[in-house]
Amino acid sequence: MSATHRRDLLKLLAVAPLTAGLTPVLPARAASPTAPHPQLAIAPGIVKPLPSEVFTIRGTNAETRFEALRETGQLTPAERFFVRNHTSTPRLTESDWRLSVWGSGLRGRGPVDFSYGQLRSLPSVTRTAVVECAGNGRSFFTTQQGEAVSGTSWTLGAIGAARWRGVRLRDVLHRAGIASSAVDVMPRGLDDEFISGGNNLGRVRRPLPVAKALDDVILAYEMNGEPLPYDHGFPVRVIVPSWIGIASIKWLGDIEVSDTPLESPWNTQFYRLFGAAHPPAGSAPLTRQTIKSAFELPNGALLEAGRTHRLTGRAWSAAAPVRTVEVSTDGGTHWRRARLHDTPRRHGWVRWSLPWRPRSAGTAELRARTTDLAGNSQPERTVHNTQGYLFDAVVRHQITVV
Ligand SMILES: Nc1nc2c(c(=O)[nH]1)N[C@H]1C(S)=C(S)[C@@H](COP(=O)(O)O)O[C@H]1N2
Ligand SMILES: [Mo]
């Protein structure tokens, strides 16, 4: 870094507001003032605004920048919540909407239809849960482990936490007359059919075993106290706590209930582990998400030497509440425990922080490592799978001290 460059950076840091002796953190793009910085980015098919300081566009999807969560609470505001769309967001209306429940697993064989009003008149439940894509963190298979994977190159922002209100899937299935012989249910979305590699795979749908469907799954019509936004499944979506995001079908239109096991490309071809370390036909269909942590900092952030910074981040595990978060600021040699700012709960995440005073200028590598109450801890490396699912290794977060 040239002397002038360094002086400019320090000037930038100097004008930034100081809070209680803690210095704010500059995003990496401050280092290149000529870089284009459009206000809003466009992702085909997403309805809500996508300010570029909040989202990174990846094809038809929008990833939340972790640094954009720094000032948010435990819940992710809908405007900052990542979007994963196979095709595009349909703008449905609640007056035309119907949920149709049908199949060999119903006593009367159905179909049994529910209007929006009928669904709203059932007893409601509210619960906090994260939705996290199975491919969250996928890009680190390549950038950190040097391995090829297919799919959207998410960093760590294909996750958000919200308070979902809706009805229990269990109540709907019982009203539709689910038989004791039912084994699988398959919710299906009303968005367009998904074409992949020239094949029409039909509308997005994925079987769910009856045991999970009757346990804690909800059909949600509210997110953080508001009607679901279009992009997150208006008027009704499935929420499957702790499972991979694909289970939480948006824009729900119908549910097949079956007395024989069901299949869809989303549990045969996708969302299984394939590769050298896995069975030739792939692993069993994926269910639960995994364990991770993330810094609320841009990659390549600039932090001023000789000052105390408050490093912040989030940690989560689908298996159990978070127990500890350890942070290393020297590439994994020394670890210190971060302070947790939320009571760890299942299905949620915890905010954490740790003060750090870097002494001298240069590059540095930050790491955060979560351990949960079931004894799971983030490994150094994730075993490779060709579609890059369930990355759980400790992420190496490069920053520069100036
Ligand atoms: N109907 C429908 N449901 C869907 C999808 C979709 O494309 N269509 N994407 C799934 C995937 S892969 C994920 S990770 C989550 C993302 O939810 P979000 O966009 O509300 O963040 O929705 C799931 N439900
Ligand atoms: Mo996903």
Atom of ligand 1 nearest to the CA of 232: 20
pLDDT at 10 over 50: no
CB-based pocket (< 6 A), ligand 1: 81-86, 131, 133, 189, 191, 204, 232, 245-246, 248-251
State residue 157's pLDDT score: 98
pLDDT interval class at 110 (50, 70, 90): confident
- What pLDDT, in 10s, does the model give residues 328-351? 999 999 999 999 999 999 999 999
Ligand (nearest to CA of 232): 1
State residue 41's pLDDT score: 75
Mean confidence (pLDDT) of the chain: 92
**Domains along the chain with CATH numbers:** 3-30+289-401 (2.60.40.650), 98-148+158-268 (3.90.420.10)
CA nearest 367: which of 291, 314, 293, 305? Answer: 293
C-alpha angle 239-243-246 in degrees, rounded to nearest 5: 70
Mean pLDDT of the 121-145 span: 98
- What pLDDT, in 10s, does the model give residues 172-223? 999 999 999 999 999 999 999 999 999 999 999 999 999 999 999 999 999 9
State residue 169's pLDDT score: 98
- What pLDDT, in 10s, does the model give residues 290-315? 999 999 999 999 999 999 999 999 99
Tally helices (H) and strands (E) across the chain. Answer: 6, 23
Distance in Å, CA 167 to ligand 1 centroid? 19
Of residues 400 and 32, the one with the higher pLDDT is 400
State residue 80's pLDDT score: 98
Distance in Å, CA 351 to ligand 2 centroid? 23
State residue 14's pLDDT score: 35
Nearest alpha carbon, ligand 1 atom 10: 246
The residues whose Cβ lies within 5 A of ligand 2, an ion, are: 84, 133, 245-246
Distance in Å, CA 72 to ligand 2 centroid? 23
pLDDT interval class at 24 (50, 70, 90): very low
pLDDT at 12 over 60: no
What lies within 8 Å, CB to CB, of 139 at 6+ separation is 153, 154, 155
pLDDT interval class at 39 (50, 70, 90): low
- What pLDDT, in 10s, does the model give residues 161-175? 999 999 999 999 999
Nearest alpha carbon, ligand 1 atom 21: 83
Mean pLDDT of the 62-72 span: 97
pLDDT at 16 over 70: no
Ligand (nearest to CA of 63): 1
Of residues 21 and 10, the one with the higher pLDDT is 10
Of residues 177 and 20, the one with the higher pLDDT is 177
Distance in Å, CA 34 to ligand 2 centroid? 34
CA nearest 144: which of 326, 327, 322, 397? Answer: 397
Ligand (nearest to CA of 84): 1
Distance in Å, CA 158 to ligand 2 centroid? 8
Distance in Å, CA 272 to ligand 1 centroid? 17
Burial class (CB within 10 angstroms; exposed 0-12, middle 13-18, buried 19+) of 166: buried
Nearest alpha carbon, ligand 1 atom 15: 245
pLDDT interval class at 44 (50, 70, 90): confident
pLDDT at 15 over 70: no
Distance in Å, CA 207 to ligand 1 centroid? 14
CA distance 239 to 131: 8
Of residues 43 and 299, the one with the higher pLDDT is 299
State residue 33's pLDDT score: 37
Q: Is 361 left (phi over 0), alpha (psi -120 to 50) or beta?
A: beta
Nearest alpha carbon, ligand 1 atom 23: 246
Ligand (nearest to CA of 46): 1
CA distance 169 to 213: 6
What lies within 8 Å, CB to CB, of 121 at 6+ separation is none
Question: Could you tell which of 248, 264, 266 is best to mutate to test the pocket of ligand 1, judged by most ligand atoms within 8 Å of the CB?
Answer: 248
Query: 19-33, 91-105, 124-138, 277-291: which range is least confident on average?
Result: 19-33
Atom of ligand 1 nearest to the CA of 194: 7
pLDDT interval class at 18 (50, 70, 90): very low
Place of tokens 């059909």: 219
State residue 8's pLDDT score: 45
- What pLDDT, in 10s, does the model give residues 46-57? 999 999 999 999
CA distance 166 to 217: 10
| Percent of residues, the chain, with pLDDT higher than 70 | 90
Atom of ligand 1 nearest to the CA of 252: 1
Nearest alpha carbon, ligand 1 atom 20: 232
Place of tokens 């297919």: 150
Question: Could you tell which of 250, 271, 387 is best to mutate to test the pocket of ligand 1, judged by most ligand atoms within 8 Å of the CB?
Answer: 250
